[in-house]
Structure 1
Amino acid sequence: MFETAIYEVRGETAWITLNRPDKLNAFTAQLNKDVASAVRTASKDSSVRAIVLTGAGRAFCSGQDLGDVDENTDYGDVLRNRYNPMVMEIEKCEKPIVAAVNGVAAGAGMSLALACDFRILSEKASFLQAFIHVGLVPDAGNLYYLPRLIGHAKALELAVLGEKISADEAFRLGLATKVVPAEQFLEESAAFADRLASMPTKSIGLIKRNLKASWESGIEQFLDRDAQSQRIASQTADHKEGVRAFLEKRKAAFTGK
């Protein structure tokens, strides 16, 4: 289906695996395109209620493949034409997206993980703001998401110093939702994604939408958004099922509708 990524639907979860293991899943123009297209495919598939992004082999993604650019490359054009469309597909997706970080996530690979909603890390995983080491600036949305996750001062420190961040340190900083033993990584990632896929999908989409809007809204504007969102949520089949389950003292069986 895709040249440099594997797309699979397992139950109600779409798994997107970056598949250039011999290059540590470094980004090429084709991989940027494949990830964007795969996320768009999952977003449009009504049977998919959660998405997992992960890497084949021992890395999540090592960033830009420097063999795919040269000294005459306009990096601004690379970002506008390749990375930005990929990030925007993730940004506008209203289904929960999990980065299952199996190994190193460096440079734009770290940016990819930051753009996701949740990050499950193998104990062997790590983050690296590699940009400073080649005289560049963190890109692909990196400096948009990072301070929102860990605050301005720490984001500046990580970007400027460019030091490797272990899985445990990432969890301490708030970059990781969960750190799991390497031998349980796939099982734990799948269980987390399946949990999300069993939840009220439309409510999750509204939560994502409102959280993003909160950074740009005044309180009066945001309270109006609250009311609009709750009206939409209250009309879903999942809300009705949730109320019935509460009254009947049983676990709700949400369908994502």
Structure 2
Amino acid sequence: MTAEPVILVETRAGIRTLTLNRPERLNAANDALLLTLTEELQKADMDPAVRVVIVTGAGRGFCAGQDLGDVSGRDMTFTEHLRATYNPLIRTLRGLGKPVITAVNGVAAGAGASLALAGDIRLWAQSASLIEVFSNIALVPDSGSTWFLPRLVGIHRAFELMALAERVGSEDAQRLGLCEHVFPDETFADEVQAYAERLAARPAHALSLTKQALNAALTSTLEGALEREAELQQLAGSHWEHEEGVRAFKEKRAPEFVREG
């Protein structure tokens, strides 16, 4: 009997959807899931047919965090485990040269919350929720939560959410800036695909450079950001997408940023 893959992979209309596939565990992460997801993100980055990546979960959960049973009794430190699994995953996702949508279909807890926050665009189902659950087992938030969350909600609110392990529902998540849009559960998958297709129609090269600029600006001075913008703008302006955008503007038509082949 063939085991179910831990990551389901589907490509449609230039959209690569990567679905965490341990629904019986609310997609709690084991090593196989983390390493496979990292590998599939890298494959998507190298595939010229892929313009946007979606990361979502199967069943009722997005990702319930670390599967504690998978690490119980191991001869490995917390530091070693994070450096071998979660840290490379988050670095890969944030460094991807294509937009990544985290489509949060259910609970995102612990490291699953970190993964949910790491997307370039965060789309939530109405029933989705996020909880920084680490303090419930006397651990420190990891997998990027201490970097993402305070930049979104401020350091004091981030500490409160982490210290009290408060669950954040979709309405509060949108109000706090943890997600860009909330869709009804029954239409969520279709809404996410439609949004991704809108994003895929945008200029892929320019968006890749934009992502580079935003990532760098988060740890840059204003002067550094201005210089990087100037350098990246030259790369953007030398690309055929820019020529097409200007031509379409002059011809008063919608630009065509997707080329076949």
Q: Report the TM-score, using the length of structure 2 for normalisation.
A: 0.95
Gaps of 5+ in 1: none
Q: Are the aligned partners of 1:123 and 1:182 in contact in 2 as well (CA < 8 Å)?
A: yes
Correspondence 1:66 to 2:80: no
Shift of 1:174: 0.2
Correspondence 1:231 to 2:247: no
Secondary structure of 2:53's partner? strand
Q: Are the aligned partners of 1:201 and 1:256 in contact in 2 as well (CA < 8 Å)?
A: no
- 1:222 alignment partner, one of 225, 228, 234: 225
Residue-pair matches, total: 256
- Aligned twin of 1:193: 196
Q: Are the aligned partners of 1:4 and 1:31 in contact in 2 as well (CA < 8 Å)?
A: yes
| Aligned alpha-carbon RMSD (Å) | 1.4
- C-alpha distance 11-217 of structure 1, shift in aligned 2 (>3 A): same
In the TM superposition, structure 1's runs of 4+ consecutive aligned residues that sit over 4 Å from their partners are: none
Partners of 2:221 and 2:29 lie apart in 1 by 38
Question: After superposition, what is the alpha-carbon deviation per residue over 1:161-202, rounded to whole angstroms, capped at 9, x for unaligned?
Answer: 111100111000000110011111011100111111110111
Correspondence 1:107 to 2:110: yes
Partners of 2:56 and 2:219 lie apart in 1 by 31
Shift of 1:87: 1.0
Correspondence 1:24 to 2:19: no
Partners of 1:10 and 1:118 lie apart in 2 by 19
Correspondence 1:184 to 2:204: no
Question: After superposition, what is the alpha-carbon deviation per residue over 1:105-130, rounded to whole angstroms, capped at 9, x for unaligned?
Answer: 01111111111111110001000111
Counting aligned pairs with the same residue, the percent is 43
Question: After superposition, what is the alpha-carbon deviation per residue over 1:136-171, rounded to whole angstroms, capped at 9, x for unaligned?
Answer: 111011111111222212111111111110011100
Partners of 2:218 and 2:121 lie apart in 1 by 19
Gaps of 5+ in 2: none
Partners of 2:209 and 2:153 lie apart in 1 by 23
Question: After superposition, what is the alpha-carbon deviation per residue over 1:28-65, rounded to whole angstroms, capped at 9, x for unaligned?
Answer: 00001011011101111111110000000110000000
- 1:146 alignment partner, one of 127, 144, 149: 149
